[in-house]
């Protein structure tokens, strides 16, 4: 059923699925199907590398617990990895459902604009380049100062020589770049592309509803067009429900991670002080990257809410006054259904929206304020 998905995704998710394949998260690729043993070995290797990083990072963080500044610095970076790895686990558990959803979309006959396809590709490239550059820059800076970029346990002393430090840095890079960072970006790419697809199709439905012009000559065509519009709206609602089922735990982990990240960074800023500019810059840059990624999800989720609600507005703005009574009643049903907007939920608790993003930031600051009062 899914063997030809990649061939059919030229208009939709080809780049996203190829990225997932390259980081070991998409065994449905034709090459992976032709070499299943090799790809399984690669997939399991990346799993093991991410687990090694989590264990080594956890041990390294525990070993420096007496140095508050270094401990909090390492905890901040380790939490980012735990966030990505947690989302990878969710994605792998729901991967079959993702395949089914993508197959439904590809076989639906829907189309995307060239601008949207380019935007999907550019988002992947920009986020990958930005995240890799940030990690690479601070790793190089740490190496320049004869420090570990992340305090992780090693079977040797990294500080014994320059060669040991370089080896330790390379080992950390091997266990975090592809297994953690690039995997997180690949998942973000496919999820954001799915949401953008839903938004674009909802905008198309609005245009089609507004363009309906009923006359005695076009009655049959209008009825067929309206019937097709209703069917597509129902189909998009089904896709949204499927996405909620697949990704609600994913979005919950994302929101919790951002809350903890903001709280921890604010707490570190008060403990460290402005004299340690390098550490503050590290916290600030990593926080900005985390907030940017969270904002992308919430912005697209908010756009989905707006565009699905605009279906009702488009129905109201159509030339329904000249329609026959039975078609007006059908339009009224569509309008009533569309008044309940589509949304993506985080754990079934909150909807992904700009309001939720603001609330997440507020929650992070609130937790920080409480902890700061307790420490003070």
Give pLDDT tens digits for 18-67: 999 999 999 988 898 899 999 999 999 999 999 998 888 888 888 887 77
Q: How high is the pLDDT of residue 375?
A: 57
pLDDT digits (tens, 9 = 90+) for 322-375: 888 988 898 899 999 998 999 999 888 889 999 988 888 888 778 777 776 765
The dihedral of CA 271, 274, 278, 283: what is its sign? positive
Is the pTM higher than 0.75?
yes
Task: Show the CA angle centred on residue 344, arms to residues 339 and 345, nearest 5°.
Answer: 110
Across the chain, what does the average pLDDT equal? Answer: 84
pLDDT digits (tens, 9 = 90+) for 169-191: 888 888 888 888 889 889 998 99
In this structure, are strands 345-346 and 350-351 parallel, antiparallel, or unpaired? antiparallel
- Report which of 365, 331, 360 is spatially closest to residue 347, judged by C-alpha positions: 360
pLDDT digits (tens, 9 = 90+) for 229-269: 999 999 999 999 999 999 999 999 988 888 888 887 777 77
What's the pLDDT band for 132 if we cut at 50, 70, 90?
confident
**Residue 366 CB contacts under 8 Å (≥ 6 apart), including other chains:** none
The answer to whether the beta carbons of residues 181 and 14 sit under 8 Å apart is no
Q: What count of other Cβ atoms lies within 10 Å of the Cβ of residue 143? A: 16
Q: What count of other Cβ atoms lies within 10 Å of the Cβ of residue 221? A: 13
**Residue 278 CB contacts under 8 Å (≥ 6 apart), including other chains:** 141, 145
- Report which of 248, 247, 251, 254 is spatially closest to residue 83, judged by C-alpha positions: 254
Q: How high is the pLDDT of residue 361?
A: 83
Q: How high is the pLDDT of residue 1?
A: 36
- Report which of 308, 302, 309, 262 is spatially closest to residue 286, judged by C-alpha positions: 262
Alpha-carbon gap, residue 361 to 355, rounded angstroms: 10
C-alpha torsion 132→134→137→138, nearest 10: -120
Lowest mean pLDDT segment, chosen from 3-12, 104-113, 296-305: 3-12
Q: Residue 7 pLDDT more than 80?
A: no
DSSP assignment string, 282-325: HHHHHHHHHHHHHHHHHHHHHHHHHHHHHHHHHHHHSSGGGS-H
Give the H/E segment covering residue 345: strand 345-346
The arithmetic mean of pLDDT across residues 66-84, rounded, is 79
């Amino acid at each position: 059923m899914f063997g030809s998905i990649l061939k059919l995704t030229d208009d939709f998710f080809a780049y996203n699925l190829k990225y997932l394949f390259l980081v070991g998260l998409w065994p449905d690729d034709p090459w992976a199907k032709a070499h299943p043993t090799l790809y399984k070995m690669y997939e399991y290797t990346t799993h093991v590398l991410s687990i090694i990083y989590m264990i080594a990072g956890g041990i390294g963080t525990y070993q420096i617990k007496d140095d508050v500044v270094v401990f909090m610095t390492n905890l901040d970076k380790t939490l980012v990895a735990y966030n990505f790895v947690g989302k990878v686990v969710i994605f792998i558990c729901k991967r079959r459902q993702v395949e089914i959803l993508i197959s439904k979309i590809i076989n639906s006959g829907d189309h995307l604009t060239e601008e949207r396809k380019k935007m999907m590709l550019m988002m992947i490239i920009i986020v990958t380049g930005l995240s890799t550059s940030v990690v690479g820059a601070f790793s190089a800076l740490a190496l320049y100062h004869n420090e570990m970029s992340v305090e992780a346990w090693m079977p040797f002393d990294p500080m014994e020589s320059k060669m040991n430090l370089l080896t330790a840095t390379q080992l950390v890079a091997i266990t975090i770049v592809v297994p953690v960072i690039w995997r997180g970006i690949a998942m973000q790419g496919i999820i954001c592309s799915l949401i953008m697809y839903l938004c674009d199709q909802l905008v198309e439905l609005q245009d089609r509803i507004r363009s309906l012009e009923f006359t005695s000559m076009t009655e049959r065509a209008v009825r067929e067009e309206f019937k097709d519009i209703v069917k597509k709206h129902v189909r998009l609602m089904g896709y949204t429900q499927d996405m909620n089922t697949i990704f609600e735990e994913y979005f919950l982990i994302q929101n919790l991670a951002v809350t903890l990240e903001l709280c921890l960074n604010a707490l570190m800023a008060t403990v460290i002080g402005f004299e340690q500019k390098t550490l503050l810059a590290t916290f600030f840059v990593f926080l900005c990257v985390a907030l940017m990624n969270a904002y992308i999800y919430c912005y697209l989720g908010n756009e989905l809410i707006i565009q699905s609600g605009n279906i009702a507005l488009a129905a109201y703005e159509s030339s329904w006054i000249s329609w026959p009574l039975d078609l007006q009643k059908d339009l009224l049903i569509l309008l009533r259904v569309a008044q309940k907007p589509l949304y993506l939920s985080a754990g079934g608790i909150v909807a992904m929206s700009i309001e939720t993003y603001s609330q997440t930031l507020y929650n992070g600051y609130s937790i920080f304020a409480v902890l700061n009062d307790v420490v003070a």
